[in-house]
Amino acid sequence: MEKKLITAIYPGSFDPITLGHLDILKRASTLFDKVIIAIAINSEKKPLFSKKTRLKMIKDVTSNIPNIEVDNFTGLLVDYAKKKNAEVIIRGIRALSDYEYEFNMALINRSLEESITTTFLVAHQNYTHLSSSLVREVAGLGGDVSNLVPKNVIEELKRKLDAND
């Protein structure tokens, strides 16, 4: 019997991608045949980085992982997952406080589309305190974020902050 290939979606705003996200993504890439990291474009949010820059930053840091695709989507996550023939949604859990929100989101997504399963991966202990908004805040105030984000993100943060000077 032919082996069934499983595609998983790792959604988020990734504004910007951090080492915590990258850790989840690398783990997911060893568990599933294909992982699509998908930037959710929400017209009500005002991100620091444009869709184009977020896509570029993620492509740069994942170029050495063969089974990862980088994409973006609007609308419902489950509709996008169905369109991409993905059966799994991956979410990282950093602390117990993430769980309630993530649990509700998983239940809503399941009520919208029974065939798609949410899987939680435990964030690396080095990054449980980490979020994109903390990175933006620390970088904006001149702090060192080199142990929180990939190198190319540091460069993009510098470029962005210099441009806003």
What is the contact surface with ligand COA in residues (CB under 6 A)? 11-13, 15, 18, 20-21, 24, 40, 76-77, 92, 94, 105, 108-109, 123, 127, 130-133
Q: In the bound complex, what is the minimum distance in angstroms from residue 79's beta carbon to ligand COA?
A: 8
The residues carrying an active-site annotation are 21, 45, 94, 132
Q: In the bound complex, what is the minimum distance in angstroms from residue 108's beta carbon to ligand COA?
A: 5
**For residue 142, is it left (φ>0), alpha (ψ between -120 and 50) or beta?**
left
**Number of neighbouring beta carbons within 10 Å of residue 46:** 7
Q: In the bound complex, what is the minimum distance in angstroms from residue 33's beta carbon to ligand COA?
A: 21
Nearer to ligand COA, 64 or 125 (CB): 125
Q: In the bound complex, what is the minimum distance in angstroms from residue 2's beta carbon to ligand COA?
A: 31
Distance between CA atoms of 45 and 27, rounded to whole angstroms? 28
Q: Show the tokens assigned to 49.
A: 């980085």
Nearer to ligand COA, 42 or 85 (CB): 42
Residues 6+ apart with CB under 8 A from 17: 54, 57, 58, 61, 132, 149, 150, 153
Nearer to ligand COA, 32 or 127 (CB): 127
Distance between CA atoms of 153 and 15, rounded to whole angstroms? 10
Nearer to ligand COA, 34 or 81 (CB): 81
